[in-house]
Structure 1
Amino acid sequence: MKVALVGNPNTGKSTLFNLLTGLNQKIGNFPGITVDKKVGYCKVSSTQNAEIIDLPGTYSLYPKSKDESIVFQVLADKNNSSYPDVIIMVVDATNLRRNLLLCSQVADLGLPMLLVLNMTDLARKEGIHINVNKLSERLGIQVVAMSARKNDGLDALKKAISHTTAISTQINGVDVKPFAPEAIAEVKEKIKTENDYYALQVLHQHEHLAFFTETEQEEIEAIEKAHHFQSSKLQGAETVARYRYLSTVLTDIVFDTGAEKKFKITDKLDSILTHKVWGFAIFILILFVIFNAIFSWATYPMDWIEGSFGWITEFGHQHLPEGLLTSLLLDGVVAGLGGIVIFVPQIAILFAFISILEDTGYMSRVTFMMDKMMSKVGLSGKSVVPMIGGLACAVPSIMAARNIESWKDRMITIMVTPLVSCSARLPVYILIISIIIPSETVFGIINKQALALMAMYLVGIIAAVIVAWVMKFIIKAKEKSYFIMELPVYRMPRWKNVFLTVYEKSKTFVFEAGKVIIAISIVLWVMASFGPGDRFENIEKKYASALTDTTKNTEHVNVLINSEKLENSYVGILGHWIEPAIRPLGYDWKIGIALITSFAAREAFVGTMATIYSVDGGDEDTSTIRERMLSSINSKTGLPVYTFATGISIMFFYAFAMQCMSTVAVVYRETKSWKWPVIQLVYMTAMAYVAALIAYQFLK
């Protein structure tokens, strides 16, 4: 059985989806459309399983964005792979009248449906009482009262799903035939349907429905023109008629005894959290808490992971036979993978905080506060959602820009979102900060490393705002943008939801980044372990006498041999070839190699450093990548490679550079043109080079 979840945004639809499916879910795309499709599976009775499809949230069947248009596209096409047998209409019990607008529209399509009154616990707290039985009787469908956040009512819902049949939708909704009688009659005959409302929706939305042929589209268009069909005017008339109908439905059903207290706590909190001064100060404080936690809380698990990978490498070298295969496994794959897995605790902490802020309703307030500022630089408040999402990953954030109606706002958002520091930059920042910034506190509570990390994130956000302001004058568009958003009431975070988010995001980070890192590590190991001609043989001959000399330190001689071999390997030759271009930035050839490999993915920087320094051998007293980088000396100057100036230069380069092939691909997919990703790649690389150059030359 296929079950579709339909409802307004902020009704707890995603929470209900997670409650029904748990970890048994996957994310793909709707057929032919680059919109996320969340599908999960659950057992609704002892004999029946259900496939649960979470359709995008929408306020009505009339779409305002690409995501919202999916709902009618799925419900209108019986051949669509997501076409449901049953619809679960999820509504917010604290805002029933507005939520039932979409319910009445979907019901008029004649699809089997049941109604979930979600957030009934909050409704009771606010003094709202709903006569569920009377509502069910009046609508002619099953109504289940529940609270998905508290796992209350799940069994009743599963039972209702298994009992929902094709005859369960009996809502006598709005008679739409008088709106456009001739046009509706002609379309009904053309597409062979008996449903007046389905025919009316086809007249409104046929150009978005891919299952109609070009000829059918032209014929429907001709019917529109012949009968002077005015879509926007009729949508307004229908909405008024539906609210009038819903007023009669809800008479003697909803009793609001706490109308005066409603949203009282939320309003009090908003007076502080969205204040034009204190609101921003609190937001900055919250950011600092997050970044401080990323350093403070993750220390022990990171040390444990680092020690584990060090032990694996040491154990492997002691017990596995010496040779190329052992070196590839330990110095290539294990070293590269260890450079990524070590950052999982910090990635998990970042995603946990983002999930909590979204779940409590605070992230919506940040969007609201930023709208005025964003409008001055050519963006709308809706641009904040993708940009804040960019803290996690630019790819889904750029896809989220589809919700922005204005083409200009959407394009600017897509072009600047990759400047916001994502989780892939986090390993680079943390590694460099741990090398150049001492782990000390200011005033006994403020961690210097956390301040430095927060500063790098703010640099990315400020850069995105400045570039957006410049693009406001470059990208031209006629239409004006607008910003409409519902601010949900404040709620306690759903901890199961937070856990699921952290688990999924961390898993994705490890597996997606891991595939890239392992591939790059293997290629790097091969390039670092072999060189052209007889260079390696000549190096071994050069140090042959030193190895047999008992007065010499054999370990130290081996380090020298490994270092010279690395410089004369294919990767060393490539690094030295590009070194003149990057020397003004304070980089040596090893950093240059990391810059090249991390153009596939930013986090490859850490894996590359781990692989290069593992092959290099390093000092026998140093075991971790950070320690080896700290002890690295520039052969030309005799000074440490990773000075404060070099570290800041590296972080500035990674803050601005477009080093993510996935982002380039998704920008092409979203814009349907190579023009925009190429412009993005060029301007971001230029920004990165210039910023890194200025930082190094100024600080050295």
Structure 2
Amino acid sequence: MDIKVALVGNPNTGKSTLFNRLTGLNQKIGNFPGITVDKKTGFMKLANGKGAEVIDLPGTYSLYPKSADESIVFQVLADANNNSYPDVIVLVVDASNLKRNMLLYSQVADLGIPMVLALNMVDLSEKQGINIDLNKLVQKLGVQVVSISARNNIGIDKLKNAISNTNKIATQFQDVDVNILAPAAINAIKSKLNSDNDYYALQVLHQHEYLKFFSEKEQEEIEEIEQSHQFESSKTQAAETIVRYKYLSSILADVVSDEGIAKKFTFSDKLDSILTHKVWGFAIFILILFVIFNAIFAWSSYPMEWIEAGFGFVTDLGHQYLPEGMFTNLLLDGIIAGLGGIFVFIPQIAILFAFISILEDTGYMSRVTFMMDKIMSKVGLNGKSVVPMIGGLACAVPSIMAARNIENWKDRMITIMVTPLVSCSARLPVYILIISLIIPSENIFGIFNMQGLALMVMYLVGVIAAVLVAWIMKFIIKTKERAYFIMELPIYRMPRWKNVLYTMYEKSKTFVFEAGKVIIAISIILWVLATFGPGSRFDQIDRKYAPALADTTKNTDHIRTLIATEKLENSYVGILGHWIEPAIRPLGYDWKIGIGLITSFAAREAFVGTMATIYSVDGGDEDTSTIRERMSASVNSRTGLPVYTFATGISLMLFYAFAMQCMSTVAIVYRETKGWKWPVIQLVYMTVMAYFAALIAYQLLK
């Protein structure tokens, strides 16, 4: 690449949208060296034919970090030897809130790196009656200013031209003299670092502990300068911010006119008065959840049936035309059965993430976060805990990583400990399978499907459990620090349907390829363990039923089913299942469910693939074809009752709602907490909680 371009900006300025627009699919995700913070990089072609590497730095309101993610911005911009150090900075600002966004611009400009100012969302600011005189702004700032709308692909080519034509020397924001804030300390740092940049020296005084490129000796020398000159970071920061805002006001006074925004309420304000209302806001949110979970069942029923029928047809065709033997059985009863257990849930996954994408795109998800903050703060959670917990509806792994934005360490630990209790998409296939077996598909009031209502209840159970556990941990992990939740609510927008469709595709693909690899591997291993047994057990079963098979007056199909069932119970997997059965029998589970509990520790959704494989090898009733039908018809050999009763189903869903059955989550908690203490505590408390919740539910309902 010819140059490196860094995108810098406040949260909610459309910086990530611009990154996607500039780089398209030429992107990759990694980590900044030595730091567990995501590094998004991409590549683009400039107007002059040169190539540029684009780095999307974390969003921040100023160069003073409030979290690990925000500290990355100055770490990258302060070290010219850093691999991510940019040749050009594109400072992205929200055109409708220029004054607040320009604080970050003024700070970054004073670092002396070549810069382009991108005024994003100009189409929306114009609709609000905000007019910006670009020529005056360019004259006052001395940098290129480009009006763009990343969302609507407006001005992107102009921005690329501006990047190509950026001077190697940037005009600094020199009208704010930061040297007067702490002259002795700043001059000492400049001399120490051989730098002539006042603001760089001031930021080193503020943030040197974050700057990994300084040696231990250099850190000690900077600390000594800080103490000897009695440098007070918080007071100096406050003074600098006041000075900058005063000067920015004078710059923008005749640049921005906002007569149209002076109305008492904008469209967003009017909606917020209803959607964030302390009563109606929660009622509307519950109604939206009803609609979402009802749609997951109602809209997906036909696609599910088609997928099941398709895999059933392939399996029957295979048994009919492929030669009998081990390879055919492995292919049909192992691999194809496992694939069927994956693909059948694609419709629900796609529908769930379509709704999540719409809620995020419209700006409603931010309102949910705002409303939930009041509840979270009462149970001892930081308001920012809402973001990873809501993200937990998709996956706990990135949600736990998102907890880095919580400044208070103890609040962050509580968030990490409870986030896996929020039902993720991996639990969705398990819930759907069990609900379809124990809850009738009937409508309440002719509108809401009972199965959809049951699914919503399971998601609410996870959220309530997370809140209760957080409240308990508030007394165990005590903290005297107090954290504050500051969040900007974006204006309401129409969802980008292309983005919604892309999200549906990406999440479905991830489910198939990521979870699918694990499930297929488990399905093959299970098939082997279910097809072979120790010693001569299988030979004894064959000899036992040989006379019956030779008797032409008897139904040999039924006898072959009995043989398959008995061989499964005497296989390696059957022996393992029977060995753990006494521990899970009080929960209402048989040995087959026990095997599913073990395999699903690799991935929760592996339970479905496990059941598909076991019931395929078992043979099942000759009148049933789909896995759900075979599971529904299965009978407990000890009690003679159906295996999947209402009590067993509720018990099993509660177990999956609370259990830590995900190796990836354990691994990410280990990485984020830098030790095994917290992952082990989390694994133990969630397993105990799951076991006793399932035990109580089954014993009360049986």
- TM-score band w.r.t. shorter chain: over 0.9
Q: Deviations over 1:486-542 (max 9, x none)?
A: 222222223333334333333322222112112211221111111100111111111
Report the counterpart of residue 151 of structure 1 in structure 2: 153
Q: Are the structure 2 counterparts of residues 3 and 603 from structure 1 closer, same or farther at C-alpha, using a change threshold of 3 Å?
A: same
In 1, the alpha carbon distance for the partners of 2:392 and 2:34 equals: 25
Report the counterpart of residue 503 of structure 1 in structure 2: 505
Q: Are the structure 2 counterparts of residues 439 and 199 from structure 1 closer, same or farther at C-alpha, using a change threshold of 3 Å?
A: same
Report the counterpart of residue 518 of structure 1 in structure 2: 520
Aligned positions of 1:658-697 closer than 5 A: 658-697=660-699
Deviation, 1:623, is: 2.0
Deviation, 1:46, is: 6.1
Q: Give 3-state SS (helix, strand or coil) of 2:460's partner.
A: helix
Report the counterpart of residue 542 of structure 1 in structure 2: 544
Q: Please point out which of 230, 235, 238 is paired with 1:228.
A: 230
In 2, the alpha carbon distance for the partners of 1:20 and 1:510 equals: 29
Deviation, 1:168, is: 4.6
Report the counterpart of residue 623 of structure 2 in structure 1: 621
Report the counterpart of residue 260 of structure 1 in structure 2: 262
Aligned positions of 1:435-474 closer than 5 A: 435-474=437-476
Q: Please point out which of 121, 124, 127 is paired with 1:125.
A: 127
Deviation, 1:601, is: 1.4
Amino acid at match of 2:470: A
Q: Please point out which of 86, 89, 94 is paired with 2:91.
A: 89
Structure 1 contact 127–258 (Cα < 8 Å) conserved: yes
In 2, the alpha carbon distance for the partners of 1:39 and 1:311 equals: 45
Report the counterpart of residue 657 of structure 2 in structure 1: 655
Deviation, 1:37, is: 1.7
Point out the more displaced range, 22-31 or 567-576. 22-31
Structure 1 contact 3–88 (Cα < 8 Å) conserved: yes
Point out the more displaced range, 557-566 or 428-437. 557-566
Deviation, 1:453, is: 0.2
Deviation, 1:478, is: 2.0
Structure 1 contact 126–261 (Cα < 8 Å) conserved: no
Point out the more displaced range, 579-588 or 499-508. 499-508
Report the counterpart of residue 606 of structure 1 in structure 2: 608
Report the counterpart of residue 53 of structure 1 in structure 2: 55
In 2, the alpha carbon distance for the partners of 1:263 and 1:158 equals: 37
Report the counterpart of residue 8 of structure 1 in structure 2: 10
Deviation, 1:261, is: 2.3
In 1, the alpha carbon distance for the partners of 2:662 and 2:683 equals: 10
Deviation, 1:373, is: 1.6
Amino acid at match of 1:214: E
Report the counterpart of residue 404 of structure 1 in structure 2: 406
Structure 2: stretches of 5+ with no match in the other structure: none
Q: Deviations over 1:420-456 (max 9, x none)?
A: 1110000000000011111111111110100000010
Q: Please point out which of 66, 69, 83 is paired with 2:68.
A: 66
The alignment-based identity, stated in percent, is 78
In 1, the alpha carbon distance for the partners of 2:330 and 2:264 equals: 64
Amino acid at match of 1:603: E
Deviation, 1:191, is: 2.3
Report the counterpart of residue 105 of structure 1 in structure 2: 107
Deviation, 1:110, is: 1.0
Q: Are the structure 2 counterparts of residues 566 and 31 from structure 1 closer, same or farther at C-alpha, using a change threshold of 3 Å?
A: same
Q: Please point out which of 316, 322, 326 is paired with 2:318.
A: 316
Q: Deviations over 1:162-182 (max 9, x none)?
A: 222313545435222222222
Deviation, 1:480, is: 1.6
Structure 2 contact 111–172 (Cα < 8 Å) conserved: no
Aligned positions of 1:541-620 closer than 5 A: 541-620=543-622
Q: Are the structure 2 counterparts of residues 616 and 311 from structure 1 closer, same or farther at C-alpha, using a change threshold of 3 Å?
A: same
Structure 1 contact 305–341 (Cα < 8 Å) conserved: yes
Point out the more displaced range, 47-56 or 88-97. 47-56
Point out the more displaced range, 455-464 or 321-330. 321-330
Q: Please point out which of 256, 280, 283 is paired with 1:281.
A: 283
Q: Are the structure 2 counterparts of residues 249 and 674 from structure 1 closer, same or farther at C-alpha, using a change threshold of 3 Å?
A: same
Report the counterpart of residue 163 of structure 2 in structure 1: 161
Q: Deviations over 1:126-164 (max 9, x none)?
A: 110001122122211111111122222222222222222
In 2, the alpha carbon distance for the partners of 1:77 and 1:127 equals: 41
Q: Give 3-state SS (helix, strand or coil) of 1:148's partner.
A: coil
Amino acid at match of 2:150: A
Q: Please point out which of 40, 43, 46 is paired with 1:44.
A: 46
Deviation, 1:481, is: 2.1
Report the counterpart of residue 639 of structure 2 in structure 1: 637
Deviation, 1:369, is: 1.3
Q: Are the structure 2 counterparts of residues 3 and 561 from structure 1 closer, same or farther at C-alpha, using a change threshold of 3 Å?
A: same
Point out the more displaced range, 266-275 or 16-25. 16-25
Q: Deviations over 1:285-329 (max 9, x none)?
A: 011111111112222332333233333333333343332223223
Aligned positions of 1:165-184 closer than 5 A: 165-184=167-186
Deviation, 1:572, is: 0.1
Deviation, 1:368, is: 1.6
Alignment partner of 1:372 is 2:374:
yes
In 1, the alpha carbon distance for the partners of 2:25 and 2:627 equals: 35
Amino acid at match of 1:180: A
Structure 1 contact 263–489 (Cα < 8 Å) conserved: no
Q: Deviations over 1:313-347 (max 9, x none)?
A: 33333343332223223222222232122212211
Q: Deviations over 1:444-478 (max 9, x none)?
A: 11101000000101111111111111111111122
In 1, the alpha carbon distance for the partners of 2:136 and 2:363 equals: 32
Q: Give 3-state SS (helix, strand or coil) of 1:90's partner.
A: strand
Structure 1 contact 139–172 (Cα < 8 Å) conserved: no
Amino acid at match of 2:576: L
Q: Are the structure 2 counterparts of residues 542 and 368 from structure 1 closer, same or farther at C-alpha, using a change threshold of 3 Å?
A: same
Amino acid at match of 2:647: A
In 2, the alpha carbon distance for the partners of 1:139 and 1:155 equals: 22
Point out the more displaced range, 175-184 or 162-171. 162-171
In 2, the alpha carbon distance for the partners of 1:301 and 1:140 equals: 59
Kindly tell me the number of residue pairs found equivalent between the two proteins: 700
Aligned positions of 1:189-200 closer than 5 A: 189-200=191-202
Amino acid at match of 1:363: M
Amino acid at match of 1:650: L
Aligned positions of 1:327-342 closer than 5 A: 327-342=329-344
Q: Give 3-state SS (helix, strand or coil) of 2:125's partner.
A: helix
Structure 1 contact 424–601 (Cα < 8 Å) conserved: yes
- With normalisation by structure 1, the TM-score equals 0.97
Amino acid at match of 2:49: T
Amino acid at match of 1:160: A
What RMSD over aligned residues (CA atoms) do the two structures have, in Å?
1.6
Q: Give 3-state SS (helix, strand or coil) of 1:61's partner.
A: coil
Q: Give 3-state SS (helix, strand or coil) of 1:91's partner.
A: strand
Report the counterpart of residue 242 of structure 2 in structure 1: 240
Q: Deviations over 1:387-439 (max 9, x none)?
A: 11111111111111111122222111111111111100000000000111111
Structure 1 contact 35–67 (Cα < 8 Å) conserved: yes
Deviation, 1:201, is: 1.0
Structure 1 contact 141–171 (Cα < 8 Å) conserved: no
- With normalisation by structure 2, the TM-score equals 0.97
Amino acid at match of 1:125: K
Q: Give 3-state SS (helix, strand or coil) of 1:26's partner.
A: strand
Deviation, 1:252, is: 1.5
Q: Are the structure 2 counterparts of residues 170 and 663 from structure 1 closer, same or farther at C-alpha, using a change threshold of 3 Å?
A: same
Q: Deviations over 1:40-90 (max 9, x none)?
A: 222233622222221111000000011111111111122322222221111
In 2, the alpha carbon distance for the partners of 1:307 and 1:86 equals: 56
Amino acid at match of 1:45: A
Alignment partner of 1:384 is 2:386:
yes
Structure 2 contact 112–170 (Cα < 8 Å) conserved: no
